[in-house]
Amino acid sequence: MARVRIENLKKYFGEVKALDGITLEIEDGEFLVLLGPSGCGKTTLLRSVSGLESVTSGKIFFNDRDVTNLQPKDRNISMVFQSYAVWPHMKVRDNIGYPMKIKGHSKEEIEKRVKWAANMLNISELLDRYPSQLSGGQRQRVAVARAIVLNPAVLLMDEPLSNLDALLRVKMRSELKKLQEELGVTTIYVTHDQVEAMTMGDRIAVMNRGKLQQVGTASEIYHKPVNMFVAGFIGSPQMNFLRAKTVSDGAKTILKGHGVDIPISSDPGLEEVVVGIRPEHIGLGKGEVSFEATVFFIEKLMSSTIIHATLEDGKEIVSMIPGDHEFKNGEKVTMSFSTEKIHLFDPKTERRIET
Amino acid sequence: MLKKVFFWIAVILIAVWFLTPIVMIFLAAFTPAEDYYNPHRIIPSHLTFEHLYKLLFLLDGWKSIIISVEVALIAIGLSFLIGLPAGYAMARYKFKGKRAINLTILLTRSIPLIVVAVPLIVIYMKVGLSDTVLGVALAHTAMILPFVVLITSSIFSGISVEYEEAGMVFGLTHFQSFVKITLPLALPGLAASAIYSFIMSWNEVFVASILTLTNRTLPAHILNTAMASPDYFKFAAGVMMAVPAMIFIFFTRKYLISMWGISLK
């Protein structure tokens, strides 16, 4: 068990800044998810913590021990790889027990812990098989069992569910989360899947272009995204962004853009702003802020319907409403949203404006 | 039905095409001299080991077999000592000039050894390596090394780097992880390329003939002695050359396929 502290970590591959000054603290026993698009540096950050990647500058501490320049084997970490990396020339039993064998534990102790770990992952009956005789899901369980057999200080997971089919992924998601809570092991989990991030992480660290964008709980990141990147990356379908001009007549302030007028209570202090509104917050019918839109495409998920429509000046807007609805292409609909649900951003810095 | 018939005709034709010369060599090698020169006999009246015996013991064939094996083992040892790390680096690391090096290695395969042999013997005479086992072994190393680098690099790139990284995460150093994780996984392919290297060295005749006078490898020895002997001696020599290679291939054909299989990825 350990608290992980990362200080101003940088990793350059030639001109490419894979990590550009990451500072992050992970509490003891916390489940932290690194979330971001491909190439954002999340895997590089994980590999830097593991020691498989050396860093250009900055420091990594486990509790108060500086591990920045230690070899992976001296960091007391374990890892679940994307490809599972279950050694094909060893039986499941030997795969799980190998970390203990390397560290010189006695045979009885290894046997005991292997049984315990296999039991945790429900793979007791597979111990005498070779990995080639296992399915992808079973191999993954072996990889996790191997990772927990030795009470690591930090458990690292690199997109462990991305190679599983959709059904199994949902099942493993909750199982892994439960397992982590039971063991209380500090965990860093890399994924590009926001559903995984939302459901599993105690906190989520959103990354882009080698920089941390926002670190917070799922709720904080969803309700108070700090910039347009986080706002657009979290949530599906993506948040609508409308450019609007601020018109103030002293008593009240109205944001005007794309033919939609949004009255707000406090002046953002900028002539122009970007208004963000999530599709699930735009409903049908009249409301606080209403507007007309022309439907051009719908996606029916049955539990909900995603409406793609255009505003009067041609700007596309997406709405998601619960239930199964039918629309014709070209049909005119009235939509509305509540001003409580909008997010304001500075168009130049793309940062959130608090109102 | 017709398809099946054609299939079997094709199978028989191909088998006959490849096996006839081998059968004829073996037959001639064990045919007594008087039967061999009798135009009315194809199948010999009895088989004899006389030619093989003479070749092996009266003409020092056994000595050149030992030299051949020595040369091959030294050449394989040296090529793997240098070639394995090179192949690993080619497979696992990105570095400046990697493509150029790769291409250069490939190019050396296109230079016939015979071209190198004459300058080589001049150098060997100066440094005292001419007519030595080590001299031939070094020349064969030059021939085998590029092959070992290219093949091992493709074998290593066929083994996921994550296996090795997992070893490092769970308590091994990089080198230990290579030895305990990657090497066992690469072993079938490495064994196959070692055997292939052995056969390359075993069959090589030009350089071995030029670089030695008394310490001749088997093919060089045969070229020198059997060419001046009656035909049945030549065939017996052919058998001596072919049998070890055939035995090797027979026992390792599975690995040979895996070697080329991996390299085709």
> Are residues A208 and A250 both part of a single domain?
no
The pLDDT value recorded for residue B232 is 82
> What is the pLDDT confidence band of residue A112, given thresholds at 50, 70 and 90?
very high
**At CA A272, angle to CA A268 and CA A276, rounded to 5?**
75
Structure tokens at B147: 């092959």
Q: Looking at the 3D structure of chain A, how many domains does it have? A: 2
Sequence-ordered alpha helix ranges (H) in chain A: 42-50, 92-102, 107-120, 136-148, 166-183, 194-200, 218-223, 228-233
pLDDT surpassing 50 at residue A142: yes
pLDDT at B212: 85
Confidence class for position B2, pLDDT limits 50, 70, 90: confident
Is B89 in CB contact (< 8 Å) with chain A? no
Q: What is the mean pLDDT of residues A23-48?
A: 93
Domain count, chain B: 1
Q: Does B163 reach chain A within 8 Å, measured CB to CB?
A: yes
Is pLDDT at B264 greater than 50 in this prediction? no
Shared domain for A316 and A204, answered yes or no, is: no
| pLDDT tier for residue B260 given thresholds of 50, 70 and 90 | low
Give residues with Cβ within 8 angstroms of B165, minimum separation 6: A52, A72, A79, A81, A85, B177
Q: Does B169 touch chain A (CB under 8 A)?
A: yes
Please give the residue of chain B at the shortest CA–CA distance from A52: B165
- Burial degree of A301 (CB within 10 A; 0-12, 13-18, 19+): exposed
- Which residues in chain A have their CB less than 8 angstroms from residue B172's CB? 73, 102
Q: Chain B contacts of A102, Cβ < 8 Å?
A: 170-172
Candidates A116, A163, A106; CA nearest to A138 is A163
What pLDDT score does A130 carry?
92
Q: Judge if A222 and A286 occupy the same domain.
A: no
Full residue range of the structural domain in which residue A315 is found = 240-353
Band of pLDDT at residue B259, cut at 50, 70 and 90: low
Nearest CB among B162, B173, B181 relative to A81 is that of B162
Average pLDDT over residues B190-206: 87
Decide if B58 is inside a domain: no
Report cis status (omega within 30 of 0) of the bond before B39. Answer: no
- A267 plus A217 within the same structural domain: no
User: Is the residue at B119 inside a domain?
Assistant: yes
**Mean pLDDT, rounded, for A87-100:** 93
Picking from A208-222, A278-292, A301-315, B221-235, which range would have the lowest pLDDT averaged per residue?
B221-235
Question: From the candidates B161, B170, B190, which should be mutated to test the interface with A, based on the most A CB atoms within 10 A?
Answer: B170
Count the alpha carbons within 13 Å of A255 in the hemisphere toward its beta carbon.
22
What does the pLDDT look like over B136-162, one tens digit per residue?
A: 999 899 889 999 999 999 889 989 999
**Closest to A88 measured CA to CA, from B184, B157, B88:** B184
Identify the CATH number of the domain in which residue A172 sits.
Answer: 3.40.50.300
CA distance A25 to A6: 6
Q: What is the pLDDT of residue B263?
A: 44
- Buried residues in B113-128 as b, exposed as e (16+ CB within 10 A): beeebeebbeebeeee
CA A225 to chain centre: 13
- Residue B230 zone, left/alpha/beta (φ > 0; ψ -120 to 50; rest): beta
CA distance A293 to A148: 54
* Buried residues in B69-104 as b, exposed as e (16+ CB within 10 A): bbbbebbbebbbeebbebbbebbeeeeeeeeeeeee
Least confident of A40-44, A86-90, B46-50: B46-50
Strand A57-62: give its sheet, edge to edge.
A16-26, A4-13, A57-62, A65-66
Q: No. of H helices and E strands in chain A? A: 8, 21
Does B161 touch chain A if contact means CB atoms closer than 8 Å?
A: no
Percentage of chain A lying above the pLDDT 90 cut:
75
B261 band by pLDDT with thresholds 50, 70 and 90:
low
Which chain B residue shows the shortest CA-CA distance from A152?
Answer: B170
Which residues, in sequence order, are CB contacts of A15 under 8 Å at separation 6+?
none
CB contacts of A98 in chain B (<8 Å) are: 170
* Distance of residue B161 Cα from the nearest chain A Cα, in angstroms: 9
For residue A117, what pLDDT is reported?
92
Give A80 to chain B, closest Cα distance, Å.
8
Reading the block at residue B79, the tokens are 């090529």
Structure token digits, residue B249: 């291939």
| Higher local confidence (pLDDT), B46 or A225 | A225
State the burial class of residue B20 (Cβ atoms within 10 Å of its Cβ: 0-12, 13-18, 19+): exposed
Contact B193/B155 with Cβ under 8 angstroms? Answer: yes
A196-244 pLDDT, tens per residue? 999 999 999 999 999 999 999 999 999 999 999 999 999 989 999 999 9
Tokens of A256: 């005007």
Any domain includes B226: yes
Assess contact for A237 and A69: CB atoms under 8 A. Answer: no
Whole-number pLDDT of residue A249: 76
Residue B255 maps to a domain: yes
Contact A52 B173 (CB under 8 A): no
Q: Side-chain half-sphere of A10: how many Cα atoms within 13 Å?
A: 11
Identify which has the larger pLDDT, A311 or B33. A311
Asked if A174 and A250 sit in the same domain, the reply is no
Residues A248 and A226 in one domain: no
Q: What is the pLDDT of residue B33?
A: 79
B173 touches chain A (CB under 8 A): yes
- Domain co-membership, A223 together with A87: yes
> Between the CA of residue B164 and those of A49, B157, B159, B167, B184, what are the distances in Å?
17, 12, 9, 5, 11
Whether residues A163 and A208 fall in one domain? yes
Report the percentage of chain A scoring pLDDT > 70.
Answer: 100
Kindly report each contact of residues B36-45 with a partner whose C-beta sits within 8 Å and lies 24 or more positions away, as own/partner.
B36/B230, B36/B231, B36/B232
Tokens coding A103: 């560290």
Q: What is the pLDDT of residue B129?
A: 86
Report the alpha-carbon distance of residue B109 to residue B123 in Å, rounded.
Answer: 21
Q: Give CA separation, A323 vs A170, A184, A292, in Å.
A: 23, 40, 21
Environment class of B170 (CB within 10 Å of its CB; exposed 0-12, middle 13-18, buried 19+): buried
DSSP, collapsed to helix, strand or coil, labels residue A270 as: coil
Looking at the structure, tell me whether residues A166 and A245 fall in a common domain.
Answer: no
- Give the span between the Cα atoms of A165 and A152, in whole angstroms: 28
| Any domain includes B13 | no
3-state secondary structure of B118: helix
B77: domain range? 68-230+249-263
Contacts A89 to B, Cβ<8 Å: 184-185
User: Above 90 in pLDDT, residue B49?
Assistant: no
Contact status, residue B190 vs residue B148, Cβ threshold 8 Å: no
The enclosing domain of B172 has a CATH number of 1.10.3720.10
H/E stretch holding A353: strand A352-353
Q: What angle do CA B4, B7, B11 make, to 5 degrees?
A: 140
Residue B114 lies in a domain: yes
B93, B169, B262: best mutation site toward chain A, by most A Cβ within 10 Å? B169
The pLDDT mean for chain B works out to 86
The predicted-structure confidence for A245-267, as pLDDT tens digits, reads as follows 998 877 788 888 888 888 888 78
Average pLDDT over residues B112-118: 78
Helix (H) or strand (E) holding A21: strand A16-26
Comparing alpha-carbon positions, the chain B residue that sits nearest to A84 is B162
Contact between chains at B166 and A52 (C-beta distance less than 8 A): no
Q: Per the domain annotation, does B51 fall within a domain? A: no
* pLDDT at residue A108 is higher than 90: yes
Residue-wise pLDDT tens digits, A40-79: 999 999 999 999 999 999 999 999 899 999 999 999 999 9
| Residue for token pair 């001046």 | B228
Say how far apart CA A204 and CA B26 lie, in whole Å. 75
- Single out the residue in A181, A214, A233 at which a domain terminates: A233
Q: What is the SS3 assignment for A39?
A: coil
Cβ-Cβ contacts under 8 Å, A88 against chain B: 163, 185
Task: Please list every residue in chain A whose beta carbon sits closer than 8 Å to the beta carbon of residue B166.
Answer: 79, 81, 85, 87
Over 50: is that where the pLDDT of A282 sits?
yes
The pLDDT, as a whole number, for residue B54 is 83
Q: Are residues A60 and A165 in the same domain?
A: yes
Q: Do residues A154 and A119 lie in contact, with contact meaning Cβ atoms separated by under 8 Å?
A: no
> Are B170 and A146 within 8 A, CB to CB?
yes
Render pLDDT for B57-85 as a digit per residue (tens, 0 to 9).
877 888 888 999 999 999 999 999 999 99
Q: Check residue B258 and give its pLDDT.
A: 63
